[in-house]
Structure 1
Amino acid sequence: MSRRLFLPSALLAVCCVALPAMAADDDHEARGLTHSIGELDLTLTLDAGFGLFSVANAQHGLGSQALGSSERAGGRAMSEGYLAPGLAADWHLGDSSLYGGFKLVGSATRGQGDAQRNSSTSDRPEALDIEDAYLGWKSGITFARLGEDAVDLSLGRQPFSVGDGFLLMDGTAEGQRRAAYVLGPRSSFDRTAIVRLNTEPVRADIFHLEGNVDQDFMRAGDAAATSLYGGNIEWFASGHKDHGRFEYEERLWYVGLTALTVYEADTGVSANRKGLDVYALRSGGALLSGLGEGWQDFALYSELGLQRNGDTGRKSRAHAWYVEPQYTLSALPWTPRISYRYAHFSGDNNSNDGRNTAWDSLFTGGGPRGFGTWDLGEIYTRYTPNGNSNLNSHMLHVKLQPLEELGLGAVLYRHFFDKPDTANGVTSDDLLTELNVYAEWATPVKGLSVTGLLGAAKAGDGRRQQLGTSDATDRTTYLGQVVFG
């Protein structure tokens, strides 16, 4: 078997065999095998994923250009995979504990690569690097009145998120030489210092984060080097025991406030980021559940963000917000859940007024609420450079649960430019219409899930103008993907 076929096949085999075998019994513990030596618990963890992806009519008919080639391909097919072995340690010190973690991520892309206008993975990249390397201390019962592990201090390279990922979730850019552009197995921030106060009904975080950036390895195509500090405070109720103190998914409802400052940034990559102050107010979940049992079926998610920079030459004044009501028809078969979201991310079509008004999406990520959280369409997010900025977005999401282990859904997006870039010939605000239909199956093999998705996206006049030609961009882009993980 050739090397090009062996690695993806090996990744799929590990995903289907090794990963389920290492699944933990407790959903709140790391997936892995634990061995105790006195007061020291060592847990060997393994995460893995494999995906198959196919795009037809890439860039709405314009095509995708491979690295080192002047020709454009109308269709692209690729496979991606990753392995992420890790070791976690927990040393009990009586009332408290020390802990640490180390994880590697090995990833590879094969086939024709992604379908961006200029494909970043058409050269079949692969990479092996450190994802996590951190040490920490948990208070255990030291402050028993505040709850077990109420205080958590940690340093190093590690994941961190606030809320549903509107501002902070993904500290590492994927694709290019890191491979695995769609699967995105890397998310950790570098040089972190995090204090978590895990109390209830109010919890808080104080944090220092740096983006995990390596411009040399990424051929100057990595995200902007960014260093920031800030704080976050949340008022919430747990949906299950007291787990909401630790996990976003376990919060029945929440209201939160975040403030952060970017004190250092690569001005060559992101000219307005250094000196940026960001403020955000958010809410989510079953906020009206206290009114009665029926109100637990209604959820409301929202966030308002403001960005300000007064530094000379980097003046910025941007904003973003969204409102997303959600209702679950729990009395009906398959418990349909219907949600609608309107999201606004400010844009800037005047580069000569000395002030930037375009929203900087910072370190947003896919998000913990599944499809449609902050990846606003699988085709739009992966293959349109606009991102979560200069955008007005409508989303309608319907999800069905015919079986406990099977979820079906459809997401319709209607995207518009907030401010068309008239200086570059974009006069229409009509950006894109996209439909994603998906199925999520938690297989009988513990720890293994399969997700399939079909997508279709039609470019609006503004997107066709952005691509530089209207004659070659009137086709519907189609996407098919299957992910094992």
Structure 2
Amino acid sequence: MKKNNSTFLKLNTLVAALMTATAVQAAPVYDQDGKTVEFNVEGMAGVFSTEENYNGVDDGGNFWQEGYLKGDLVGRNATGSGTVYGGLGVIALGTGGDGDAGGYTSGDESELKIENAFIGWQSSNGVFDLSVGRQQFTLGDGFIIAGDAISLGDMGIPGIDVDRGGAYYLAGQKSFDRTAVLKIDPEGPVRGDLFWLQSDNPYHQDTELGGVNLEWVDDAKGALGLSYMSVLDVDKGTAFGIWDQRDGMDIISLRGQGSMGVENLFLSFEYVNESGGDTAVKNDANAWYVEGGWTFADLPWSPTLNYRHGKFSGDDSSTANNEAFDPLFFGFTRGFGTWFQGEVASNYAGPANSGNDVDRIEVTLQPRDDLTVGLQYWDFGKDADAADLAGSEVDLYVLWSINDNVVFSPMLGYYKPDGADVIANQSNDDGNLYLQAVLMYFY
């Protein structure tokens, strides 16, 4: 087994800092005459193990550690015309041990950097909210935008620098480098956003995009959303060069989520179309999913049964267009499997929301108010001429809320490759046993 003792010590230090933070209750720094300053803390630390990896060499699995600790000062000043607010935060993060099973980190990453730096103004009636700076932005359910969360490390590839500090799985960095976001929320069911986002993530080749979002929201029935956006610029030829094709691309998203007024029912869907572009080969891709769930509230432990089917188009070599769906800035939103689908598949083995269809069945139980147990089954197939990354996966996870601030989440997963390309990446067709344990702190 590969070892990296120096970085392991760095991660131990980071984990120790996180554990210390869990024992300290953060408090408002200042609160007087409509002026407030608060200090917020978020941290995660995890250990991970796999029996296999996906570097194309049959050299066993990986054992690694990840952690991040993030602190933010957020201030607000209420005036007669509205409220001025702002935030400034830093994040420390890193990876130790062997690095992750996908080879996106080496186990020798650690970094301290600014994560948030923004200012904003909200009108006194709450209708308008304008903010600019370095901050997070999520669109709808996070199917295509859930912050700028991909955080690679030192991959050791000559001439390619994608190192963002590591902590790849935990994905603590979510803020876009530069943003301008106007939220409009008048009385009634309709609200909207105008947004401009600029990434400084080398993996995303510093993608810049702008768009508009409209939503109809009914607290009892659910929400419908319609968005349009366009990719304004991409730093072509940098990093892996895999996102050159998104330059000038237009994106339309139609989505909905809610209960339709039926207690214990959950419904969700989204359809995304990608077209055009400034490159010689034009984009003509799409992705969609439909999801339904039911909570058996009268049964012991309130079991919930959920099913989802999704399809992400792959390139068709017989056409002059590019049909490979670009998943953009998807991320973790409402729980495991949204939108990193399958803990092994989406994070390490592939596919990752492009050139595949996917089915998921999930059962969750709640034995106690502070304890949730979930079991997910995943089936992945390929679409069109995309790489054959077909496979199946089972994930068993627990979410234990130790107190109001601390959550502990162990997970056991088993992944079985079926497609020729993922078998080649794994260098065998064996099942892969995956173990992780993550401690989370929020205040």
Length-normalised TM-score, structure 2: 0.90
- The answer to whether the aligner puts 1:434 opposite 2:393 as a matched pair is yes
Structure 1: distance between partners of 2:77 and 2:174: 26
Structure 2 gaps, min length 5: 154-162
Q: CA deviation at 1:265?
A: 1.4
In structure 1, the residue matched to 2:144 is 167
Question: Does the CA contact (< 8 Å) of 1:420 and 1:462 recur in 2?
Answer: no
Query: Which of 330, 335, 343 is matched with 1:364 structurally?
Result: 330
In structure 1, the residue matched to 2:285 is 318
In structure 1, the residue matched to 2:340 is 375
Per-residue CA shift, 1:5-64, capped at 9, x if unaligned?
A: 5443343334334246336xxxxxxxx5331254421112221110010111223xxxx4
- The structure-2 alpha-carbon separation of the partners of 1:20 and 1:276, relative to structure 1 and needing over 3 Å to count, comes to farther
In structure 2, the residue matched to 1:144 is none
Structure 2: distance between partners of 1:95 and 1:186: 33
- The answer to whether the aligner puts 1:111 opposite 2:97 as a matched pair is yes
- The answer to whether the aligner puts 1:473 opposite 2:409 as a matched pair is no
In structure 2, the residue matched to 1:9 is 12
In structure 2, the residue matched to 1:279 is 252
Say how many residue pairs are matched.
Answer: 421
Structure 2: distance between partners of 1:123 and 1:376: 24
- Name the amino acid aligned to 1:372: G
- Name the amino acid aligned to 1:87: L
Question: Does the CA contact (< 8 Å) of 1:14 and 1:48 recur in 2?
Answer: no
User: What percent identity do the matched residue pairs reach?
Assistant: 31
- Name the amino acid aligned to 2:176: F
Question: Does the CA contact (< 8 Å) of 2:47 and 2:66 recur in 1?
Answer: yes
Q: Which aligned pairs between 1:218-237 and structure 2 lie closer than 5 A?
A: 222-237=203-218
Structure 2: distance between partners of 1:48 and 1:387: 25
Structure 1: distance between partners of 2:6 and 2:325: 43
Structure 2: distance between partners of 1:342 and 1:435: 16
Greater shift, 299-308 or 10-19, is seen at: 10-19
Structure 2: distance between partners of 1:163 and 1:464: 31
Question: Does the CA contact (< 8 Å) of 1:11 and 1:49 recur in 2?
Answer: no
In structure 1, the residue matched to 2:75 is 89
- The structure-2 alpha-carbon separation of the partners of 1:233 and 1:76, relative to structure 1 and needing over 3 Å to count, comes to same
Structure 2: distance between partners of 1:412 and 1:375: 14
Q: CA deviation at 1:88?
A: 0.8
Query: Which of 260, 267, 273 is matched with 1:300 structurally?
Result: 267
In structure 2, the residue matched to 1:40 is 35
Structure 2: distance between partners of 1:464 and 1:449: 33
Q: Which aligned pairs between 1:194-233 and structure 2 lie closer than 5 A?
A: 194-199=181-186, 200-213=188-201, 215=202, 222-233=203-214
Structure 2: distance between partners of 1:35 and 1:441: 32
Structure 1 gaps, min length 5: 24-31, 66-70, 142-148, 216-221, 240-251, 290-294
Structure 1: distance between partners of 2:354 and 2:389: 15
- Name the amino acid aligned to 2:255: R
Per-residue CA shift, 1:274-315, capped at 9, x if unaligned?
A: 11110011011112x1xxxxx211111001111111545031
Per-residue CA shift, 1:158-202, capped at 9, x if unaligned?
A: 000011101111214212131101111001112200000133421
Structure 2: distance between partners of 1:166 and 1:179: 23
Structure 1: distance between partners of 2:7 and 2:377: 36
In structure 2, the residue matched to 1:183 is 170
Per-residue CA shift, 1:393-446, capped at 9, x if unaligned?
A: 00001111111110000111000011244xxxx6xx5701011000000003x3
Question: Does the CA contact (< 8 Å) of 1:15 and 1:448 recur in 2?
Answer: no
Per-residue CA shift, 1:66-114, capped at 9, x if unaligned?
A: xxxxx75311111111111121111111341100001111101111110
Structure 2: distance between partners of 1:306 and 1:84: 35
Q: Secondary structure at the match of 1:9?
A: helix
